[in-house]
Structures are given as structure tokens and as C-alpha cells.
């Protein structure tokens, strides 16, 4: 996998600022107040930093921004990046500033002189997250070059604070790699293999094969994959870091490794984007990796349904009626509304086996959510206000866009079928909501549940503050924080 650049931590030694080749970064607040390192840079550059800060101060220095002094006279460095990160800044501003220097670094050695900034570790996380590039299929891929060193006044405290954050970075990179990977490489089998590999970091991983899924009665899940040469699988990942016997938080992910639409075939233009239709499963996997790496004191189970939606002589047809694991029958009117078919069985299985304290499903479920919310926010649907608020709070703190959408009986009524218990589409109006209503039919009474429609945010066509274009890893940070703030013991 693409590994995050490892960050080293050293004690502040301002003598090194003048000699460091590569890039040097210093931190100031919104008033332009210089710390010891910044003052040293100012001295070395014969007042250039102070003049720049004074010029910037007239328009106001904005938290989360960076300006650069290129080829500073009096220093060996090619550039000095000046980060504006006041103590009072929210954490995402610290990361945003870090991300800018992470990007600007290129292949240079970056010396981040954070002094006594309380945001040192978060700045480092920003730098590391933005410094991602998917090189797996470039034959001329160059090895990652250059280093990131954080020079700070309390090395022990900053490196301790950075440890769980680097687990978040690695989990996010894992998700991004999975989402970026083309479907001929990331088949249901190779996806499952990559998840099984996480046994090496302490996760318990099981792969349920088709015969087992058949035995369990997961017919709607199997129906989605029955036109593909790749076998359908369900992978169960368990992280038991919490008190024994405590009901787990369950994360359930849609893992359609490629969505052609099936017999209800999608148009050719843009179909290649459907390599990301396993984004829900990819995010669940990244969160599980993060929790294991930072040894979270919580019980969390991640369950993903891995299928490929293909048209073929064995594929499901529009009009087919299939029985779910729950026992409810579904009239499949559109084979392209496949995500809900696999999720309903995966969610039912999750509840039957684990009796989770709460359940969150993630899926690139509907194009309609992109029409509604664009690429800025994931759609959030929930049957429980308290649980939903806790998630929205975590997402907000992490700077991951999330917006609550409504549910209601009238939407559910749109799923009525004349011949089965329900149909798998509700028509064009409120397409994301009827998809969520379909899922809610498979949530047991009393289980707090959130459905995250991540179709618009899992992979995007332009750079975002913390990621280059392509897979974002949306949700890994929010879910990790949700666990940290609500499910960890002591
Ligand atoms: N995987 C798609 C949704 C999607 C669209 C994800 C664009 C990412 C980007 C999903 O399986 C799908 O095809 N949904 C249909 C549902 C419809 C047939 C009711 C859609 O949104 O058009
Ligand atoms: Mn589809
Ligand atoms: Zn799909």
C-alpha cells in the first residue's frame, strides 16, 4: 500500500535553521507574532520575515493559510513557509496549513519548526495526509523522496500526540488506495485478501464465501453478484479493544468493486468512475485499520459485502423477485439499484450476529445525493437524534462535510410493490431518501442507525485541502473520532 511519509520529531535547535537544505517552515499567530524559530529566520534573512509579516498583517493573516519566502538570502533553504496557526484556531485550520506545506514540499526535506505550538502534531498530520499520490500503476513511479521533521519544544509530548494521528493517516491511505484501484486489480477476491492481511495488525478477519452466504439466506446480496465471474464475499473484521462483552459499534460497507448497472446497464460515458463503488467498504476498512493501529479501547466490527454488478446470462433481471435474509421479498425493478440489495442482507446479518450497540452503514448509494449535496457533504440519514448528533459533531470537528437528510413514512410508501413486500426503487423524486428508506426496513427496532450516502464525497475530480484529486478517504477521520469520543473505555 501507499505508506504515509514517516515523520520524525526533534527538540528545537535554532542553530539548524540556517543550514537546513530543502524547506523550513515556521508558525505564527494571526497577529504575526514570531516565536523563537521565526525570530531566528528573521535574523538570518536580515528582517525579511518581519517585513513580510507586516505587509501581510495589513490585510490580516488568516488562520490556516501559508505564505512563502522563496530562496531566502542568508539561509541554505530553498524556501521558508510561514504558517498562520493561532492557538485558538480549530484543529482543521492547523491541518489545512500543514497540508499546504505538505503539498509544497514536493521531494524536499521539510523542517517544520513548530516551537511551542500546541498544534504541532496536527500540522504534521495535515502535511502527511496531503502528501498522497497513487503510483501503483506507474511504471516510472519514483520512490517517495524527502523527509518531514518536526522540530519542537516538547518532543516527547508532540510525538505522543502524533502517534494516533499517524494511525489515522495510514487508515486514510489504505482507504484511498482501495478506492483508487481499478476493478481488474481490486476484484472481490483481492479486496478480501487485502482485508485478511490486516490480521497482522491484530484484527480478527473472516471471509464468508458464497456457499456460506447461501446457507445464511443472503439472497439479495448474492443476487447482485450472480452475473459476475468474481465470487461474492462478505468480510467480517473485528477489533475487540474494549471491555469484554460490551456490544460493538458496527460499521457496514457497500463494496461493489465495479457497478456496470447490470442488465439495467449504465451509459458508457463515465462508467469508469464506478471503480469507486466500493467506497463504503473501503472506508470501513480504513477505519478498522486506524482503530487497530492506535489500539483503540473499543469494540468495533466492520462488515463489508464485496460484489461485482455485471450484465450476463446469469445476471438478475428487472422484474425478478428475491428473498432477503430477513425474509422480506424484493421486486428488483432496476438492477442498477444494487447497493441497497447487498446492504440489506449485510445489515441484517450484522444485527443477528453481533447485536450491535449502534450501526452505521456507508455506501456510494445514489447519484441523487450528488445532485442534492454536490461533493461537499455526505448525506446523513438516521433513526436516532442523539446518535446522529454525535456523528455530525465528529464530522464537523474533522472538517468532513456531512448533512442530515429526512426520513419519513411518505417516502417509505414509495417502495410499495404490487407483487412483493417492496420494490428496490422509489422513482426519481427523493432518490437518496427512498434508498435510505429501503435500508431502514432492515434496521431492527431499537438499534440506533445512521446511513451515510458517500457517492459525492468518496472520490472527487479536483484537489481538496487534505487530498489530491481521486479518493479522499472521507469518513475515516469522523468515524475514528466518533469511536474515540463515544465508545472508548476510560
Ligand atoms: N453506484 C451507484 C451510485 C453512484 C452514482 C455512486 C454516481 C457514485 C457516483 C448506484 O448503485 C446506482 O447506480 N444508483 C442509481 C439508483 C437508481 C437506479 C434508483 C442512481 O443513482 O442512478
Ligand atoms: Mn448501481
Ligand atoms: Zn452502485
pLDDT in tens, 367-384: 999 999 999 999 999 999
d(CA 316, CA 58): 65
The cell numbers describing 238, all together, are: 473485528
Mind listing the pLDDT tens digit for each residue in 64-122?
999 999 999 999 999 999 999 999 999 999 999 999 999 999 999 999 999 999 999 99
- Judged by its nearest atom, the ligand closest to the C-alpha of residue 273 is 1
pLDDT band with cut points at 50, 70 and 90 for residue 58: confident
Ligand 1 atom 7: residue of nearest CA: 367
- Judged by its nearest atom, the ligand closest to the C-alpha of residue 254 is 3
pLDDT band with cut points at 50, 70 and 90 for residue 297: very high
Instruction: Please give the distance, rounded to the nearest whole angstrom, from the Cα atom of residue 237 to the centre of ligand 3.
Output: 22
Helices (H) and strands (E) in the chain, counts: 15, 19
Residue 367 CB–ligand 1 contact under 6 Å: yes
Mind listing the pLDDT tens digit for each residue in 433-488?
999 999 999 999 999 999 999 999 999 999 999 999 999 999 999 999 999 999 99
pLDDT band with cut points at 50, 70 and 90 for residue 412: very high
The cell numbers describing 96, all together, are: 489545512
For the CA of 424, the nearest atom of ligand 1: 19
Residue 334 CB–ligand 1 contact under 6 Å: yes
Enter the CATH code of domain 173-486.
3.40.630.10
Q: Which residues pair with 135 in a beta bridge?
A: none
Mean pLDDT, to the nearest integer, of 156-183?
Answer: 98
Active site residues: 266, 340
For the CA of 338, the nearest atom of ligand 1: 11
Instruction: Please give the distance, rounded to the nearest whole angstrom, from the Cα atom of residue 337 to the centre of ligand 2.
Output: 5
Mind listing the pLDDT tens digit for each residue in 432-443?
999 999 999 999
Residue 328: alpha-carbon gap to chain centroid:
32
Write down the pLDDT at residue 408: 98
Instruction: Please give the distance, rounded to the nearest whole angstrom, from the Cα atom of residue 434 to the centre of ligand 1.
Output: 13
Write down the pLDDT at residue 80: 98
For the CA of 261, the nearest atom of ligand 1: 13
State yes or no: pLDDT of 142 exceeds 80. Answer: no
For the CA of 266, the nearest atom of ligand 1: 13
Enter the CATH code of domain 7-153.
3.40.220.10
Instruction: Please give the distance, rounded to the nearest whole angstrom, from the Cα atom of residue 264 to the centre of ligand 2.
Output: 9
144 vs 419, higher pLDDT: 419
pLDDT band with cut points at 50, 70 and 90 for residue 2: very high
Residue 425 CB–ligand 1 contact under 6 Å: yes
- Judged by its nearest atom, the ligand closest to the C-alpha of residue 455 is 1
Grid-cell match 472538517, residue found: 399
Write down the pLDDT at residue 143: 75
Mind listing the pLDDT tens digit for each residue in 304-313?
999 999 999 9
Residue 259 CB–ligand 1 contact under 6 Å: yes
Residue 443 CB–ligand 1 contact under 6 Å: no
Q: Which residues pair with 306 in a beta bridge?
A: 233, 255
From the list 267, 205, 200, 207, the residue with the least C-alpha distance to 233 is 207
From the list 105, 103, 124, the residue with the least C-alpha distance to 21 is 105
For the CA of 277, the nearest atom of ligand 1: 1
Of 256, 336, 438, 460, which is best to mutate to test ligand 1, by the most ligand atoms within 8 angstroms of its C-beta? Answer: 336
From the list 385, 168, 179, 467, the residue with the least C-alpha distance to 292 is 168
Residue 124 CB–ligand 1 contact under 6 Å: no
- Judged by its nearest atom, the ligand closest to the C-alpha of residue 368 is 1
* 70 C-beta neighbours (distance < 10 Å), count: 9
Residue 282 CB–ligand 1 contact under 6 Å: no
Q: What's the burial of 476, exposed, middle or buried (CB within 10 Å: 0-12/13-18/19+)?
A: buried
Write down the pLDDT at residue 59: 80
Of 337, 414, 472, which is best to mutate to test ligand 1, by the most ligand atoms within 8 angstroms of its C-beta? Answer: 337
Residue 453 CB–ligand 1 contact under 6 Å: no
Instruction: Please give the distance, rounded to the nearest whole angstrom, from the Cα atom of residue 132 to the centre of ligand 3.
Output: 26
State yes or no: pLDDT of 406 exceeds 80. Answer: yes
Residue 2 CB–ligand 1 contact under 6 Å: no
The cell numbers describing 62, all together, are: 488568516
Instruction: Please give the distance, rounded to the nearest whole angstrom, from the Cα atom of residue 272 to the centre of ligand 3.
Output: 12
Q: Which residues pair with 467 in a beta bridge?
A: 464
For the CA of 435, the nearest atom of ligand 1: 19
Residue 336 CB–ligand 1 contact under 6 Å: yes
Domain boundaries, the chain: 7-153, 173-486
Instruction: Please give the distance, rounded to the nearest whole angstrom, from the Cα atom of residue 68 to the centre of ligand 1.
Output: 43
Instruction: Please give the distance, rounded to the nearest whole angstrom, from the Cα atom of residue 266 to the centre of ligand 2.
Output: 8
Mean pLDDT, to the nearest integer, of 267-279?
Answer: 98
CA dihedral for 474, 477, 479, 480, sign (positive or negative): positive
d(CA 74, CA 66): 21
Q: Which residues pair with 358 in a beta bridge?
A: 249
CB of 345 closer than 8 Å to CB of 210: no
Write down the pLDDT at residue 88: 95
Mind listing the pLDDT tens digit for each residue in 336-358?
999 999 999 999 999 999 999 99
State yes or no: pLDDT of 23 exceeds 90. Answer: yes
CB of 184 closer than 8 Å to CB of 45: no
Residue 338 CB–ligand 1 contact under 6 Å: yes
Per DSSP bridges, beta strands 299-309 and 233-240 are: antiparallel
Q: Which residues surround ligand 3, an ion (CB under 5 A)?
A: 256, 259, 277, 339
Amino acid at each position: 500500500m501507499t505508506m504515509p511519509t514517516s515523520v520524525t520529531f526533534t527538540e528545537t535547535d535554532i542553530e539548524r535553521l540556517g543550514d537546513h537544505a530543502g524547506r523550513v517552515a515556521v508558525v505564527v499567530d494571526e497577529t504575526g507574532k514570531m516565536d523563537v524559530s521565526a525570530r531566528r529566520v528573521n535574523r538570518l534573512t536580515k528582517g525579511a520575515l518581519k517585513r513580510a509579516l507586516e505587509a501581510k498583517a495589513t490585510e490580516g493573516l488568516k488562520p490556516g493559510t501559508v505564505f512563502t519566502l522563496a530562496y531566502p538570502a542568508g539561509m541554505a533553504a530553498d524556501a521558508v513557509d510561514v504558517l498562520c496557526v493561532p492557538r485558538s484556531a480549530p484543529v482543521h485550520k492547523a491541518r489545512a496549513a500543514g497540508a499546504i506545506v505538505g503539498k509544497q514540499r514536493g521531494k524536499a526535506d521539510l523542517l517544520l519548526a513548530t516551537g511551542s505550538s500546541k498544534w504541532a502534531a496536527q500540522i504534521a498530520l495535515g502535511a502527511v495526509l496531503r502528501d498522497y499520490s497513487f503510483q501503483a500503476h506507474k511504471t516510472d513511479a519514483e520512490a517517495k523522496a524527502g523527509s518531514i521533521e518536526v522540530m519542537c519544544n516538547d518532543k516527547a509530548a508532540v510525538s505522543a500526540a502524533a502517534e494516533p494521528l499517524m494511525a489515522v493517516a495510514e487508515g486514510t491511505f489504505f482507504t484511498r488506495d482501495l478506492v483508487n484501484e481499478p476493478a481488474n486489480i481490486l476484484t472481490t477476491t483481492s479486496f478480501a485478501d487485502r482485508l485478511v492481511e490486516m490480521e497482522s495488525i491484530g484484527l480478527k478477519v473472516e471471509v464468508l464465501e458464497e456457499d456460506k452466504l447461501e446457507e445464511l439466506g443472503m439472497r439479495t446480496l448474492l443476487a447482485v453478484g450472480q452475473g459476475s465471474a468474481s465470487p461474492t464475499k462478505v468480510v467480517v473484521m473485528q477489533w475487540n479493544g474494549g471491555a469484554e462483552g460490551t456490544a460493538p459499534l458496527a460499521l457496514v460497507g457497500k463494496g461493489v468493486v465495479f457497478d456496470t448497472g447490470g442488465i439495467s446497464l449504465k451509459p458508457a460515458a463515465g462508467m469508469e468512475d464506478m471503480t469507486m463503488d466500493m467506497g463504503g467498504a473501503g472506508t470501513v476498512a480504513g477505519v478498522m485499520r486506524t482503530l487497530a493501529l492506535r489500539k483503540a479501547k473499543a469494540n468495533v466490527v466492520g462488515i463489508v459485502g464485496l460484489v461485482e454488478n455485471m450484465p450476463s446470462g446469469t445476471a438478475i433481471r428487472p422484474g425478478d423477485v428475491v428473498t432477503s435474509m430477513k425474509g422480506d421479498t424484493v421486486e428488483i425493478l432496476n438492477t442498477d439499484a444494487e447497493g441497497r440489495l447487498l446492504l440489506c442482507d449485510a445489515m441484517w446479518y450484522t444485527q443477528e450476529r453481533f447485536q450491535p450497540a449502534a450501526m452505521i452503514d456507508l455506501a456510494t448509494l445514489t447519484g441523487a445525493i450528488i445532485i442534492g449535496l454536490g461533493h461537499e457533504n455526505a448525506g446523513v440519514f438516521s433513526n436516532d437524534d442523539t446518535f446522529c448528533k454525535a456523528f455530525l459533531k465528529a464530522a464537523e470537528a474533522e472538517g468532513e462535510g456531512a448533512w442530515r437528510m429526512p426520513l419519513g413514512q411518505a417516502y417509505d410508501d414509495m417502495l410499495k410493490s404490487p407483487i412483493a413486500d417492496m420494490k428496490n426503487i422509489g422513482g426519481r423524486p427523493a432518490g437518496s431518501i427512498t434508498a435510505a428508506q429501503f435500508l431502514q426496513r432492515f434496521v431492527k427496532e431499537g438499534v440506533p442507525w445512521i446511513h451515510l450516502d458517500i457517492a459525492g464525497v468518496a472520490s472527487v475530480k479536483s484537489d481538496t485541502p487534505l487530498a489530491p484529486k481521486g479518493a479522499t478517504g472521507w469518513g475515516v477521520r469522523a468515524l475514528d473520532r466518533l469511536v474515540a469520543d463515544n465508545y472508548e473505555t476510560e
